[in-house]
């Protein structure tokens, strides 16, 4: 694998992307990678941007901030935030896992701002990266029983994408440890839906 392997998890406040970075970091550490995690928050309580930088290495403990143009994988919970991360941190070989459902900021909802056309955003992401996996995590989470588990759907998609040198069983082991027991079965279903969807896309 590339060393370090640089992963960005990006979305808006309330989408649960920080839990995804926690699961990924613990899964990588369980496989003996040196892991560094850095997080940044906008006005997360109001739907502002929230992103995590996760850096995996077999040799060194790298700094927490991924340099511009060095993100190898971007997991985007929201199209605009994914596009921002790709523009700032991506390169032509970057691979992207994207939930294509927009989250409209307050300024858009009250009519003060326009939201970019989602299809145009997806085309832009495809043009600037090596691969984009579109994972309808919001819809898949609803199938699992709760739209809030879309973050675990994306964990499953990441595990099934083949983008990471981590076995799926390690993800499920970590998830079993960090998710409350009362919510575990639903989260397992969400993980499996994301995993199966990513596997089907990459196999096609």
Percent of the chain with pLDDT over 70: 92
What pLDDT score does 118 carry?
86
Task: Kindly state the average pLDDT of the residues 159-177.
Answer: 96
Task: Kindly state the average pLDDT of the residues 46-66.
Answer: 88
pLDDT bracket for residue 188 (50, 70, 90): very high
pLDDT bracket for residue 41 (50, 70, 90): low
Distances (CA, A) of 201 to 14, 142, 143, 188: 27, 20, 19, 20
Distance from C-alpha of 202 to C-alpha of 204, rounded to nearest angstrom? 6
What pLDDT score does 113 carry?
75
User: Mind listing the pLDDT tens digit for each residue in 108-153?
Assistant: 666 667 778 889 999 999 999 999 999 999 999 999 999 999 999 9
- What is the residue range of 28's domain? 5-203
What pLDDT score does 44 carry?
43
Mean of all residue pLDDT scores within the chain: 91
Per-residue pLDDT for 162 more than 90? yes
Identify the DSSP state of 63.
-
Q: What is the CATH number of the domain that holds 97?
A: 3.40.920.10
Distances (CA, A) of 140 to 10, 39, 96: 19, 26, 18
Give the count of domains, the chain: 1
């Amino acid at each position: 694998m590339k060393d370090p392997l640089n992963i960005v998890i990006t979305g808006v406040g309330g989408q649960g992307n920080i839990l995804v970075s926690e699961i990924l970091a613990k899964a990588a550490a369980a496989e003996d990678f040196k892991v560094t995690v850095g997080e940044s928050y906008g006005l997360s309580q109001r739907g502002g941007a929230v992103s995590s930088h996760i850096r995996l290495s077999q040799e060194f403990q790298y700094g927490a901030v991924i340099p511009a143009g060095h993100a190898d994988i971007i997991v985007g919970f929201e199209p605009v935030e994914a596009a921002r991360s790709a523009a700032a941190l991506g390169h032509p070989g970057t691979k992207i896992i994207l939930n294509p459902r927009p989250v409209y900021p307050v300024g858009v909802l009250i009519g003060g701002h326009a939201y970019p056309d989602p299809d145009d955003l997806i085309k832009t992401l495809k043009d600037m990266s090596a691969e984009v996996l579109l994972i309808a995590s919001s819809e898949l989470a609803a199938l699992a029983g709760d739209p809030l588990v879309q973050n675990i759907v994306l964990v499953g998609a990441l595990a099934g994408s083949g983008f990471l040198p981590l076995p799926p069983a390690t993800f499920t082991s970590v998830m079993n440890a960090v998710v409350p027991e009362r919510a575990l079965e639903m989260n397992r279903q969400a993980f499996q839906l994301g995993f199966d969807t990513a596997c089907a896309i990459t196999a096609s």
